[in-house]
């Protein structure tokens, strides 16, 4: 068993002990669901998440956090529609932004770009400094073949975090599609993480071909 696996097993044992010692400790339930998800024990995670929702119906703080934990189980399992059903029930301002981002990601994963856009724009409005939300928005705009809007989102993320790989890579995709000769963003992405850049090279080619094709059809912005 590897060191991470040992750590996960230790976390599970500790959280189970905490639950046995105090069955009203909702945080321990949420944390155990998260560990089960991280270790890909999704069936057990689902069972525990749904059980915990029933146990803490009368505790609004617990319920909100457990709704998020349950949504995450289904998101990781690829059941994005069910995941969004749970994320959509969240109203607690402390986790509302994260839930909104997850809904955007769920629709994006299904290539439902218009629906994803609604949630991504909301997430960025909630927290403009969230580079992850800005990058997601940029990728959604790319999916919709709106290059200038995508560039704005990636630029916003780079403004907050100049060494953000995804933001520089996305901005570089836009520059490549537009035929910019001085593509500083892809150069920065390579410098940040060459291995990751090489792994995404096919994605770069696919997006550039898509955007270039739309421009030839007179549809790009």
pLDDT at 220 over 50: no
CA distance 131 to 50: 32
Whether residue 81 is found in the same domain as residue 123: no
pLDDT at 1 over 80: no
Tokens of 85: 């059903």
pLDDT band of 201, cuts 50, 70, 90: confident
The mean pLDDT of the chain is: 93
User: Is residue 63 in a domain?
Assistant: yes
Whether residue 125 is found in the same domain as residue 218: yes
- Looking at residue 149, the DSSP 8-state letter turns out to be H
CA distance 183 to 185: 5
- For the chain, what is the largest distance between any 2 Cα atoms, rounded to a whole number of angstroms? 66
For residue 196, what are the contacts with CB-CB under 8 A and spacing of at least 6? Answer: 165
Q: Return the axis-axis angle of helices 147-160 and 131-143, rounded to nearest 10°.
A: 170
The answer to pTM > 0.85 is yes
Whether residue 11 is found in the same domain as residue 67: yes
pLDDT at 180 over 60: yes
CA distance 138 to 28: 36
Whether residue 123 is found in the same domain as residue 215: yes
Whether residue 84 is found in the same domain as residue 172: no
- Considering the chain, what percentage of its residues have pLDDT values greater than 90? 82
User: Is residue 164 in a domain?
Assistant: yes
């Amino acid at each position: 068993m590897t060191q991470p696996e040992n750590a996960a097993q230790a976390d599970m044992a500790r959280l189970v002990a905490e639950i046995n010692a105090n069955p009203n400790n909702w945080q321990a339930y949420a944390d155990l669901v998260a560990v089960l998800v991280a270790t890909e024990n999704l069936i057990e995670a689902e069972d525990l998440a749904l059980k915990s929702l029933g146990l803490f119906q009368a505790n609004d703080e617990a319920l909100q956090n457990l709704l998020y934990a349950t949504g995450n189980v289904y998101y990781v399992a690829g059941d994005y529609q069910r995941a969004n059903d749970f994320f959509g029930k969240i109203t607690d301002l402390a986790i509302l932004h994260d839930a909104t981002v997850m809904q955007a990601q769920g629709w994006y994963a299904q290539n439902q770009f218009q629906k994803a856009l609604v949630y991504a724009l909301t997430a960025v409005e909630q927290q403009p400094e969230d580079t992850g939300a800005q990058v997601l928005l940029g990728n959604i705009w790319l999916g919709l073949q709106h290059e200038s809007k995508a560039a704005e989102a990636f630029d916003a993320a780079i403004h907050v975090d100049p060494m953000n790989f995804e933001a520089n890579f996305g901005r570089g995709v836009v520059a490549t599609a537009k035929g910019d000769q001085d593509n500083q963003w892809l150069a920065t992405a390579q410098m940040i993480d060459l291995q990751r850049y090489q792994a995404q090279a096919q994605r770069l080619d696919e997006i550039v071909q898509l955007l270039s094709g739309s421009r030839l059809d007179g549809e790009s912005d």
